[in-house]
Amino acid sequence: MKGYNVAVVGATGAVGHEMIKVLEARKFPVKELKLFASARSSGKKMSFCGESLPVEELKSSSFKGIEIALFSAGAGRSVEFAPHAVKSGAVVVDNSSAFRMDANVPLVVPEINPQDIKLHQGIIANPNCSTIQMVVAINPIHQVSRIKRVIVVTYQAVSGTGMKAIQELERQVKEWVGGKKITHKVYPHPIAFNVIPHVDVFYDTGYTQEEMKMVHETHKIMHDDKIQVSATCVRVPVFRAHSEALHIELEKKLTASQVKDILSKAPGVKVQDDPQQNLYPLAIYTAGKYDVFVGRIREDIAFPNGIAMWVVADQLLKGAALNAVQIAELLSA
């Protein structure tokens, strides 16, 4: 099997760490791995397959000889440096929002639209984490009975914001236990012992950018812009793994039993659904796992042909690093 020269951009971040671990765990055919980050991380050592690799400062000249570049360093960095990587001959898999809605850039979830990879012009976009786990769960149903409408509420872990948010939640818990005043910097309010209905910036419509990402990205990935999507995205005091409550309206009726059967055979999905035994997906047990877990599957009583369900996934893995490496695997196939 051919080996590839691979770069991870944003290697010291939460998703960058996971990209390196997933490349190793899935035995991606890496010939040489280069790690890039900002100047302040230059010289730091990171482990890969028993080797200690140096982190280098990201520069426009960094991509000589690189064939696949996995980016997770923020939209600004992607806009600045992805074109340099492409010019050097690399295919960029970008985890930021920079290129997702670009008509010339495929937005790919391998379980759903792997064929779109063939349309790339040097850059392939990784969707938003909340969108990924939702579409992995609903697309198999959509293939049997077209989805007309999705109402989704997310319960998003702080690690979706990054290392500083993880540290803030840890600090706030210690402050509360110690009887101290809870301080906050990352979020506009304390996140410990709280729920914040605010993920990303607000638009004049009252929806946030995160919520609208779920609308537009679902249309692009599933190639159906007639699906009506309404999202409310919420930050919760959970370290890792996002949860979502979905209410779906179908064109033709499917029973809960039929939906369970469909999802039990779907790639990347694990059904955990036995409420009588208190079995349903939980963030604390989903963290660190690759699959999208689905439970609480039931017929929605609010409208005809409705299905309600609960979906949980590790947003650092399937919502980011794993999905990016799966795209790289398609490129190497």
Task: Say whether pLDDT at 163 is over 90.
Answer: no
What is the per-residue pLDDT for 195? 98
What's the chain's average pLDDT?
A: 97
Could you tell me which CATH number the domain at 4-126+320-332 has?
Answer: 3.40.50.720
pLDDT digits (tens, 9 = 90+) for 242-291: 999 999 999 999 999 999 999 999 999 999 999 999 999 999 999 999 99
- 129 assigned to active site: yes
For residues 272-294, b (16+ Cβ closer than 10 Å) or e, as one string?
bbeeeeeebbbbeebbebbbbbb
- Of residues 17, 120, 129, 233, which has the active-site annotation? 129
Task: Tell me how far apart the alpha carbons of residues 309 and 93 are, in angstroms, rounded to a whole number.
Answer: 31
Task: Say whether pLDDT at 116 is over 70.
Answer: yes
Tokens for 253, please give them.
Answer: 């009726």
What is the per-residue pLDDT for 105? 98
pLDDT digits (tens, 9 = 90+) for 215-239: 999 999 999 999 999 999 999 999 9
Neighbour-count burial of 59, counting CB atoms closer than 10 A to its CB (0-12 exposed, 13-18 middle, 19+ buried)? exposed
What is the per-residue pLDDT for 101? 97
User: Residues 17-29: what's their mean pLDDT?
Assistant: 97
Do the Cβ atoms of 263 and 141 come closer than 8 Å?
A: yes
Task: Say whether pLDDT at 1 is over 80.
Answer: no
pLDDT band at 85 (very low <50, low <70, confident <90, very high): very high
Q: What is the DSSP string of 112-146?
A: T-GGGGGG-SSEEEPPPHHHHHHHHHHHHHHTTS-
Domain ranges of the chain: 4-126+320-332, 131-315
Q: Which option is the CATH number for 131-315: 3.30.360.10, 3.40.1360.10, 3.40.50.2020, 1.20.1260.10?
A: 3.30.360.10
Task: Say whether pLDDT at 6 is over 90.
Answer: yes
Q: What is the pTM of this model?
A: 0.95
User: Residues 40-51: what's their mean pLDDT?
Assistant: 94
In this prediction, what percent of the chain has a pLDDT beyond 90? 97
What is the per-residue pLDDT for 314? 98
pLDDT band at 162 (very low <50, low <70, confident <90, very high): confident
